[in-house]
Amino acid sequence: MTVKLKRAYDAPADQDGYRVLVDRLWPRGVAKAKAKIDLWLKDVAPSTELRKWFAHDPEKWAEFKKKYAEELKKNPAWDELKSLAKGKSITLIYAAKDEVHNEAAYLKQRLDRGKSHA
């Protein structure tokens, strides 16, 4: 299993493998045809309430991860993503400007660990 990260605004590449958009909202200004997304797994993204609370504030990162982990415990989309990652190389696609403090980075961290909880 190989899990990579890539911003939605970066050009797709053959080495991306299976491209999974993990944002709840489609990235602004990105044409669906050019994005080459294999799966839009919006249900794995943080809830709207959590996303708005976090607002990509690095000072809230630790608390965001705890809250997001709780959401993932009862989220069937998380199980779907884990299954996908076992079978193929995937790239988690996200729109956030912050390449460190975003849901895709957290999902990759969890998939790399191979655990179902943080």
* Structural domain boundaries in the chain: 3-113
Q: Is the pTM of this model over 0.75?
A: yes
Per-residue pLDDT tens digits for 63-77: 999 999 999 999 999
Cβ distance 101 to 61 under 8 Å? yes
Quick: pLDDT tens for 15-71. Answer: 999 999 999 999 999 999 899 999 999 999 999 999 999 999 999 999 999 999 999
